[in-house]
Structure 1
Amino acid sequence: MSTILIQNLKKYYGKVLASSIKELEIKDGEFFTLLGPSGCGKTTTLRMLAGLISPDEGRILIDDKDITNFPPEKRNLTMVFQNFALFPHMNVFDNVAFGLRMRHMPEREIQIRVKEMLKMLRIEELSDRRIEQISGGQQQRVGVARAIAPHPSVVLFDEPLSNLDAKLREEVRYELKELQKKVNITAVYVTHDQAEAMTLSDRIAIMQSGIIIQIGNPKEVYFTPVNAFVASFVGGTNFIEGEIEKEISQDRVLFRSIDGLLIEARKGMVSNYDSKVLLVRPEAVELKKANENGIKGTIESKLYLGGSLEYRIRIGKNSTLKTFSSSVNDVGDVNSNVTVFIKDAVVIKS
């Protein structure tokens, strides 16, 4: 395991600032994810860590050693690519053994290490198969096995699951998390998929326009996002415009929507009474049939999703809420009146 320290790192493409990180520490043994939309700088940052591109400013340290100008092969890290980057002319065993042979490890040790990796990834029966003879999910496991076989200090993951179908992505991401803890490595993971980030990460850095907007564990960035961009990138969102009417306690406020609704909420990461937005996650909205105490609402749309129903509820001229309910808890059809209970809300910056 290793600690990574990034200081004043910048990369320009022409006049465009692709990545700018003032200071970032990735802890020993941590699964750290860079999350954000295409073009936000996350892959550029990862490639500077890997040594595949050079920063224009700043430095990168691993275990207090400045590796900023080290070539990739001198950094004691490996990378798992989006397109797997396996050698089609080699079988599975030789693909996994490739990095070990490049390090001139004795062949007997290579045999032991590769078999250990294949067993750990549950692909030992594929040892003699060529790459085109195995599935995409199996190819990804081979790529991971090849990356961890040399026992690197850091493994970098560049959107490694994006070429897999949805069901397989879900299966492999759980395996990745389990494997990372088992082999005790520091992992830096790049993705635009919030489900991957939330499932895998010890901490997440959300990036926008080359800079990190917020860093926190999955619970922190989900329940207390710093602004609307972060909120929308890490889960389903309902935004209600309005302003803080008054503080109830140190961390709770009364929020007045532009339709005049008063909603008690957490203060979040705002520090004054300027115009704000209220974030309400869909799962924090509870619906009941009309004529109960609560916020009055009207069902605008209703979608059947099998085990659940998706509702869009109008709670004022300018505000709607999306929420989900079990299919056995149907509260009404379109245009029906309902009562809305908001179980959790937080004030955030727009």
Structure 2
Amino acid sequence: MSTRTRMALVANLLSLLFSTAVIHSSQSILPLRSFKISANVTYDCIDIYKQPGLNHPLLKTHKIQMKSSVSRPELKMQTSKNETSNKNKIGCPNGTVPILRNTKEYVTNSQIFSEKHFHLLSPDSPGLHIAGVRSNGGPFRGVKAWFSGNALNVGKDQISYSHIYIGSQSKNQINYISAGWIINPGLYGDQRVWTFGFWKGKDGKGCYNTACPGFVQVSKKIPIVEPNVLKPGVPRWLRYSIHQDKTTGNWWITQLMKDAPNEDIGYWPKELFNLLDNGANMAGAGGVVQASPSGLSPPMGNGILPNGGPQDSGVFTNIEVLNSNYVQRKMDSFPMEVLVDSVKCYGLRIGSQKKFPHLGFFFNYGGLGGNECGV
């Protein structure tokens, strides 16, 4: 066999091997299954060990934790007869997790909104208003609440959300985790009510959901981000817990289910943070809005000021925190402050636990917004 022939055979063999490798590589990142929820919302079932969240440079040696070691008991609660149910349409095969298929626009918008995402440790922002409660000091190992999501008329340049959160601050450094309901047409491209998760870590940067690496999705049926189509005046309840794992130090988000086992959605690995190793020094819950540049503020909660009825306006119920020993306590068992910065447009009223004991510690909040909310 001539030298030229041998070289040709080697070249062909290398070409074949390269082609096989490319095909295998492309197949390994293809979803095993996909769920199209609407025209512009698709979830891909990705191998749990190849999900994009693990691509964060701080997670090169991270080992996935499949289940939280903190058990969160389900509480019984009376809810409105008009409450809508969330019939989950996603069920990925074993070994895969649902990841929202990102568009370039969504990723870009996520980066923009992450830079200016409000948290209780950030400086005041023009047009931003809050109504909520928080406890300081800690250390807190977690926070949980049951709270309603509602359809609202929020403009393209406005934001309205309701969330629970934990955080710590040291000098100019901030670690922060938040999760709940959000209406943000600038980010999601519509007025639907989305569930969301947000974090800000040791590098000073933050991220929504799975728009960039960091969050590790574990549930195969409940994604960290999901749209909900709600009818005006008909709430949907979200029962969330953010808590630090006793064994690993990771920060989990769990959906507390009604008449079903609780679902661990996933977690933010401890490697992302440098101020949350031994708990957080702040925990809270409430509503936040961002006005448009013109000064017009959107509605908060369900758009109605608190008037005494436990379900007549937006509501957070069964608000509890985990103390340093992982003992669950009502938030008002700790020093607590009420935060309302625009009484012209939004309000907050602490509920009567004697009158409504099944709601635990709760408060009503919200308002219509408008042009007179201040800066």
**TM-score, normalised relative to structure 1:** 0.23
**TM-score, normalised relative to structure 2:** 0.22
Pick the structure with more helix per residue: 1
**Which of 1 and 2 has greater Rg?**
1
Larger RCO (CA under 8 A, 6+ residues apart): 2
